[in-house]
Structure 1
Amino acid sequence: MVPRHPLDCWEQRLIEMESEVHASGCDAFKFLIEAWVNKLKSVVTPTGTAMFRGITRKQKADCSWKPAELPSGRSPKWPTMAVEVRWSESASHLMNDVCFWLNESNGDVKVMLTVSIFARHRISIEKMGLERNSKRKVTGNMTILFEDVFLRPKRPTETDLTFSQSDLERMALKIWAVQDR
């Protein structure tokens, strides 16, 4: 459950160090997003290690993107899609981060993806969003709507992003290869 009250989302971090396994979770998503965008010839900008300031705190996503061209009146402050990877963090820490992106952006973050990496070759990928008011675990294909990322309707040559079961398995294999070192 995503906490609604801003104080429910507060936490303090003294030090943050990214492990190779954690980084591999984000890198696998980056590869799939870049392949989709290159095929579309539409431009989406990765935000890199940008810090985003909300009401209660500031936060960096493990990876995030926003369209290069924003609709009139849309603030450039927030990405439209963010990924948080959980490797050594607790489930409550991950949900705290999800709360930040979905609630403090006031709906500007349309797609929130989480990748939870566990020992013994188990990965959970979830897609969350406020307007759909649900949390979905991926067991087959996962679709990200073009309009949620680019903030405009698709043109005839543009498509939604669908991660097939084989895409998700390839992503998992990349993460496990790093995990097994």
Structure 2
Amino acid sequence: AALALLAAVGCGGSSDGTDEPQAGISGPEGEAVDGGSLVFGIDYETSGWNPAIDQWAATGALVGSSVLEPLATLDGDGQAQPWLATSWDANDTNDVWTIHLREGVTFHDGTDFDAEAAAANLEFIRTAPLSSIAFGPMIDAVNVVDPATVEVRLTSAWGAFPSSFMASQGAFMRAPASLEAEDK
């Protein structure tokens, strides 16, 4: 009998005598205002915000992706999907990739995102102290084809280039002036 009573008490309704669910906690009402601070908790620090030279912890990529954009992103199946790139294609041997870029995009400093900016980023990634460890031996050259197209020549075939590189931390695009800037 005591167990039945405890079970019945545990299945009771709201504490105000009705069977209506209680509303959640609500915050102050009013108009949204610009400014203020956003505090974002992460489990590990990163060494800086330049993805080509700084070591990012897993959560660093999450924070970095809130202010930087990659050429591609991965869908739920792990397949690369266009982001700042609109499309890409490879030659028959998968060692030359042509990347077509989204037009009308500007960086935070007002610089246009175009083939010159993308090429500067890709060249920086190829030669920067950290990212060059992985990508330096694989990327032979980066060429501007036209204002919205870059060509990446690889040292050997790399069929997974879109998902392994273009959607990686290394392919987050930065304003060209910030590539060599001191990370603050």
Provide the TM-score with structure 1 as the length reference: 0.24
Which one has a larger percent strand, Structure 1 or Structure 2?
A: 1
TM-score, length-normalised on structure 2? 0.24
Whose helix fraction is larger, Structure 1's or Structure 2's?
A: 1
